[in-house]
Amino acid sequence: MCGIVGYIGHEDAKEILLKGLEKLEYRGYDSAGIAVNNGNGVHYFKEKGRIADLREAIDNEVEATAGIGHTRWATHGVPNRINAHPHQSASCRFTLVHNGVIENYEMLKRSFLETVELKSETDTEVIVQMVEYFVNNGDTVEDSFRKTLKELKGSYALALLDNEDKDRIYVAKNKSPLLVGVGDNFNVVASDAMAMLQVTDQYIELMDKEMVIVTRDSVIIKNLDGAEIIRNSFTCELDASEIEKGTYPHFMLKEIDEQPFVIRKIIQRYQDEQGALKLDEDIRGAMQDPDRIYIVACGTSYHAGLVGKQFIETLAKIPVEVHVASEFSYNMPLLTGKPLFIFISQSGETADSRAVLVKIKALGHPAITITNVPGSTLSREADYTLHLHAGPEIAVASTKAYTAQMAVLAILAVDTARTKGIELDFDPIRELSIVANAMEVLCDQKEEMNQIAREYLATTRNCFFIGRGIDFYVGLEGALKLKEISYIQAEGFAGGELKHGTIALIEEGTPVIAIATQEQVNLGIRGNVKEVDARGANSCIISMKGLESAGDRFVIPAVHELMTPLVSVIPLQLIAYYAALHRDCDVDKPRNLAKSVTVE
């Protein structure tokens, strides 16, 4: 979602800001802007559309060594130039960019800004007008900023310029992510470290309800009572090459191909020198205690959670419930006496999941976050973190994080079972190695997937995915992948459930992709395929070696029956990818979507 960058140093700020914004493009946005401060006032440029459009709009004559930038994913007000950030106060003295949602902006408008004519439909503009309101009433800029922050309800990451002071950027955060990067004679601000890795790998974490005054050679962090806070920087371990596409046409394809490597890395990271599973002792302890585990997640991570439930219940014998975070936060189920929460989130910043985490922490329940970003909000705020080690995932459609989530959940389930003394005939390291090899075989069969996409999906309006048991969960993920990047209406169903309503939608030629990797339900799912075929469907069975039948469209290599989701999803990811290409869609940046969903 929205992304923020800021720079104050001695170089021309425009190019550094634009490059930073380009690195944030993957988060999803529909307009972008920058503002620079050069002592002759603040100059801002903003445009609807891509950063490339913004580049065109910039006056290169304007030179400045301080500035802020923003990519906007519209929440309040349509995506247009007026609603794009930066926003300015009435006198144009203050200029601001904001990520998040101010819940009480209507009330603030009525209380403080009755006489001010607002130019945009955004909640953001209220913030910058309030800073000016307090300054007009005699407060210093710092006090005005602080007073404004104290009035805000909701989430924000903010960067503010004052055209009477080219030597400072005022910064603050609450719930939305923001980091300050430290350099030699310059400092930067960024929603995530990737944006400014071009200039520094040293970052300072900011906590909620802190404000920061950033100058060329200092970073002063304060709480909202004005007390100074000292915090060291950390080195961001990201390698800049990990966030480049290299020779790939799209990040999604690169990330699909990285999956065998990620699984091998997980094996390495969760195994000690003697070959035993290696897990934080505190996590081990936490997993021994609960009478029920509640997995909370959104989208693809939720689908990984469904598979995780199978792992934990089958192997560690602990009952598990899996919940969509956005529902859980206002419709909390009756909890058992000793619950343990597991949050699954690639980004670690998903606001819906965080809202649940805040609630259950207030109730005193323990939480583990499984994430790809260990320093993220969900990671910091949970008691324990399990790292996915998948490397940065840039494409909006999640692929390698999904398979990494399932791999880590399998390791967690087995480790818990072993610690409980449960004897298992399942070696996760061996099974994951087989998975990695199978993934490699599948990644080499792209032309076959391209052919399936062309044949079944190039012109269709809709598509159904069916499966039984664990295959049903993979069907849900296959449908999500397809709809989010190709815009084909796609749904996943439990095979046996079709006849209770959905089969009414099957027409001549409707594509139905069936996943058949489970011996126990192999006959059942094939029966469901016959039912849809009898009504004219264009069915495509993806089965597993050993369970295949004549006429199956594609057969994946054999893996342990619990591990099949990590492998059967690869053809579905590739089919979605090629379907999107055949339909001329923007694979890495699908419309209306954001990578990191930081609003509820």
Q: Which residues bind ligand M6R (CB under 6 A)?
A: 298-301, 345-347, 350, 353, 396-398, 480, 484, 597
Distances (CA, A) of 53 to 48, 57, 97, 98, 191: 8, 7, 19, 20, 21
Task: Say how many Å lie between the first and final Cα of the chain, rounded.
Answer: 12
For residue 309, give every residue at least 6 positions away whose Cβ sits within 8 Å of its Cβ, in sequence order, or none: 295, 320, 321, 322
Rg (CA), the chain: 25
Instruction: Work out whether strand 554-556 and strand 538-544 pair parallel, antiparallel, or are unpaired.
Output: parallel
- Helix 400-419 to helix 564-582 angle, to the nearest 10 degrees? 170
Exposure string over 356-392, b if 16+ CB within 10 A, otherwise e: bbeebeeeebbbbbbbbbebbbbbebbebbbbbbbbb
Looking at the Cβ atoms of 286 and 357, the one nearer to ligand M6R is: 357
Active-site residue (options: 2, 298, 443, 540): 2
| 8 A C-beta contact, residue 442 and residue 571 | yes
Residue 175 CB, nearest distance to ligand M6R (Å)?
15
* One-letter amino acid of 75: T
Looking at the Cβ atoms of 176 and 301, the one nearer to ligand M6R is: 301
Active-site residue (options: 254, 265, 589, 595): 595
Q: How far apart are CA 292 and CA 47, in angstroms?
A: 50
Residue 346 CB, nearest distance to ligand M6R (Å)?
4
> Helices (DSSP H) in 458-548: which residue ranges?
470-486, 522-533
Residue 92 CB, nearest distance to ligand M6R (Å)?
37
Angle at 183 between CA 375 and CA 394, to 5 degrees: 45
| 8 A C-beta contact, residue 352 and residue 297 | no
Residue 408 CB, nearest distance to ligand M6R (Å)?
13
Q: Which residue is nearest to ligand M6R (CB)?
A: 299
Looking at the Cβ atoms of 456 and 577, the one nearer to ligand M6R is: 577
Looking at the Cβ atoms of 192 and 210, the one nearer to ligand M6R is: 192
Residue 450 CB, nearest distance to ligand M6R (Å)?
20
| 8 A C-beta contact, residue 579 and residue 482 | yes
Clarify whether 2 is annotated catalytic: yes
* One-letter amino acid of 228: E
Looking at the Cβ atoms of 155 and 301, the one nearer to ligand M6R is: 301
Backbone dihedral angles phi then psi of residue 544, each to the nearest 5 degrees = -120, 145
Residue 301 CB, nearest distance to ligand M6R (Å)?
4
Residue 393 CB, nearest distance to ligand M6R (Å)?
9
Looking at the Cβ atoms of 224 and 324, the one nearer to ligand M6R is: 324
Looking at the Cβ atoms of 329 and 398, the one nearer to ligand M6R is: 398
Q: How far apart are CA 292 and CA 416, in angstroms?
A: 13
Looking at the Cβ atoms of 431 and 484, the one nearer to ligand M6R is: 484
Q: How far is CA 216 from the centre of its chain?
A: 32
Residue 201 CB, nearest distance to ligand M6R (Å)?
23
- Please count the other Cβ atoms lying within 10 Å of the Cβ belonging to residue 488: 22
Residue 176 CB, nearest distance to ligand M6R (Å)?
14
Q: How far apart are CA 391 and CA 497, in angstroms?
A: 38
* One-letter amino acid of 376: S
Clarify whether 443 is annotated catalytic: no
| 8 A C-beta contact, residue 9 and residue 24 | no
| 8 A C-beta contact, residue 58 and residue 44 | no
Looking at the Cβ atoms of 54 and 178, the one nearer to ligand M6R is: 178
The catalytic site residues sit at 2, 595
